[in-house]
Every structure is written in structure tokens, then in C-alpha cells.
Amino acid sequence: MRCLIDTNILISAALFPESVPMKAFVQAVSPPHSAVVCDYSMDEMRRVFNRKFPHRIADFERFVSTMALAVKIVAAPPPEESVPNEEDIRDLNDRPIFRAAVAAEVDAILTGDRDFLESGIASPKMITAADFCQMNHSDYDE
């Protein structure tokens, strides 16, 4: 399964190494899976750490260094390159991430964001970290 990992999963994984989001991150970047992260999420993650967790910048830097080896960073297409179902994402700030997921042809968006989870969008599939960890991953190819 090819997943786009959303910002909230990345932040939780960076802050809490023993958390379910970190376990889901590790699964998502391990065969048979592959993972992508949107450049917009990288910027958003840095802003959140600078604003809310300035004392944890070293954790952020360490996580990003490791993450860069395990995921492919993809660009968020600009707003004028809208994609089907984009308007179903309530939060305008989440739409660049959705466009990146569609452009990267992922199977799923790994997220804890209600705007994604409650969007009703079937493809790519919206999945929580906990649900991803519970899935039978042998059913999926890369």
C-alpha cells in the first residue's frame, strides 16, 4: 500500500516515539508499503514545532533526518490544479495535502484529521494510525 502520511501523524510520531502514530509511520515506510510526505506538510510541521514545541526542535530535526531516508517528499500541486472531490475537504489548509495525495497516486492518507476522516472521500482511503496498525497488511502490494 502506498500512503501519504499527514502532518498530524508526523508531529505525533516525532514527539512520542512509543505512540500509535509512530508505529503506523514505521509500518507505512516498511515493505510491502511505501510512503510519501507532502512538502506542504513539512513546512506545516516546522511551523507547529516552532510555535508549540520550541523546546523540542532537536526532536523535530532528528525525526526529519530519519524520515527523509524513508519517504519520498512530493510537491503539493497549486490551487489552480484542483482535483476531483477536493471541495469535500472542509479545511482549505488540508486541500494542498489532498492534491499531493491524488497527484502521487497513493492508496491511502494516513491521518488523524477529522476533515479528512469525515470527508466521505473513498479514494484515496482515509485511515487512522490505529486502523492502519490493525490492518492485515499482507493483503497489499507495494
Q: What is the reported pTM? A: 0.92
| pLDDT score of 135 | 87
Rg (the chain; Cα; Å):
14
Rounded CA-CA distance 26/72 in Å is 14
Q: Which residues contact 5 (CB under 8 A, 6 or more apart)?
A: 25, 28, 35, 36, 37, 41, 71, 110
Long-range pairs of 87-90 with CB within 8 A, sequence gap ≥ 24: 88/119, 88/120, 88/121, 89/115, 89/116, 89/119, 89/121, 90/115, 90/118, 90/119
For the chain, which residues score pLDDT lower than 50?
141-142
Rounded CA-CA distance 115/85 in Å is 13
| pLDDT score of 7 | 96
| pLDDT score of 141 | 45
Rounded CA-CA distance 35/50 in Å is 25
| pLDDT score of 15 | 96
Rounded CA-CA distance 62/78 in Å is 29
| pLDDT score of 137 | 56
Judging by DSSP bridges, how do beta strands 72-74 and 2-5 pair with one another? unpaired
- CB-CB contact of 126 with 116 (8 Å): yes
Which amino acid is located at 10 in the chain? L
